[in-house]
Amino acid sequence: MRALYIRILNLLLAAVMILAPVTPALAFSRVKDLVEVEGIRDNMLVGYGLVVGLNGSGDSLKNAPFTQQSIQTMLERLGVNTHGTTMQTKNVAAVMVTANLPAFAAQGTRIDVSVSAMGDSKSLQGGTLLVTTLFGADGQIYAVAQGPVAISGFAAGGAAASVTQGVPTAGRIANGAIVEREIGFTLANEHQLRLSLHNPDTTTASRIASAINAYIGSGIADATDPSTVRLNIPDTYPRGVMGMLTDLDQVKVDPDEKARVVIDEQSGVIVMGADVRISTVAIAQGNLTIRVTETPQVSQPQPFSNTGTTTTVPRTQIQIDDGKGNKMALLHEGVSLQQLVNGLNALGVGPRDIISILQAIKAAGALQADIQVIG
């Protein structure tokens, strides 16, 4: 009898789960994936240096006088006087060295650097970067770089042909720089922080502030503008600022976004957001295509014939496509992204034509979204 009751109870629970309304899943994201803490940021570094040890693929000193001057200056520091001499070496290349200094990077920390040729060097393969100081925007030295350059491409050639893969004049040195100066920013002493949204939006900023206040307590977070949420750090909060940021990183928020259509005219890529809507509009697309094909044929006389000459007979074929088979599609008001794509695909148009159609719909005032053209 007990087993029968348990079986009936399980059947009732299964029926309730089947009949219960299904709520749509929301695209929740963590706060740490939506914002950056103001003050916690990378800093760009740049420097000028020399790459040596190249196998004849370096700068030609005649076309790159700055490389020769750099070599002379470096040798003078080492006690070698080269003034008045003519240099012919092609094993040295002048390069620009760049790196990102992470936030809170301590002295002695190693960071990656990128190396790019400045002159007419053919390749940096097998080269070694000499000691190069890296400067910040304030003109101070923050790191020193040195080491063998690793490139992802190569260049090889002969008298009649050459092969180049990737970019052999740019490379990278993993852990190639040592941090010499720290950025002065003490996070633990802050009593107020500002969260900067990656994608500014009034709704998203308000939702982040509401989620933080619901998790910690009212009055902690305040959305000051579409791109900023201000945090007030309580003095009694456990583990202080770091503890609060650690707790807030995992708070889930449903971000909102503006309806936008992004178009890359160079590659023909089109990206449309899920909230793109259009008003009632009729679309027809047709292009006149004329294709002319020349297939000349050779006419020869019969074998062992004493008369006749070999001649070329032209053969021209013309094809005309005036788009008679194309139809007009009607898209009703408020259609979704999927319906819009299906309607455009029903016309048999490609990405290039879709770009023109979307721009025409926007010009007609029927596209309820912003069009952003890149490239």
Report d(CA 361, CA 281) in Å as an integer. 8
Greater pLDDT, 350 or 193: 193
Which amino acid, one-letter code, is at 170?
A: A
Mean pLDDT score, 362-371 = 79
Digit-coded pLDDT (tens) for 156-215:
666 666 777 778 899 999 999 999 998 877 787 888 889 999 989 999 999 999 999 998
Rounded Cα–Cα distance for residues 252 and 71 (Å): 56
Q: How far apart are CA 349 and CA 259, in angstroms?
A: 23
Calpha distance 233→155 (Å, rounded):
57
pLDDT at 1: 52
267-295 mean pLDDT: 66
Q: What is the C-alpha to C-alpha distance for residues 366 and 272, in angstroms, rounded to an integer?
A: 15
Confidence at residue 14, expressed as pLDDT on a 0 to 100 scale: 44
- Residues 131, 144: contact at Cβ < 8 Å? yes
For Cα atoms 268, 273, 277, give the angle at the middle one, nearest 5 degrees. Answer: 105
- What percentage of the chain carries pLDDT values higher than 90? 30
CA distance 67 to 130: 13
Cβ–Cβ under 8 Å, residues 220 and 231: yes
Would the pTM count as exceeding 0.85?
no
Average pLDDT on 232-261 reads: 85
Considering just the CA atoms, what is the radius of gyration of the chain in Å?
34
Calculate the alpha carbon distances from 40 to 36, 37, 44, 101 in Å. 7, 6, 13, 11
**Which of the given ranges, 72-81, 172-181, 278-287, has the highest pLDDT on average?**
172-181
Q: What is the total residue count of the chain? A: 375
Is the distance from CB of 176 to CB of 129 less than 8 angstroms?
yes
Q: How confident is the model at residue 145 (pLDDT cuts 50, 70, 90)?
A: very high
Of these ranges, 18-22, 97-101, 232-236, 279-283, the one predicted with the greatest mean pLDDT is 97-101
Q: What is the pLDDT of residue 110?
A: 96
CB of 52 closer than 8 Å to CB of 59: no
Q: What's the whole-number mean pLDDT along residues 32-54?
A: 92
Q: What is the mean pLDDT of residues 263-277?
A: 77
Question: Considering only 91-105, 200-214, 230-244, 348-362, which range has the smallest mean pLDDT?
Answer: 348-362
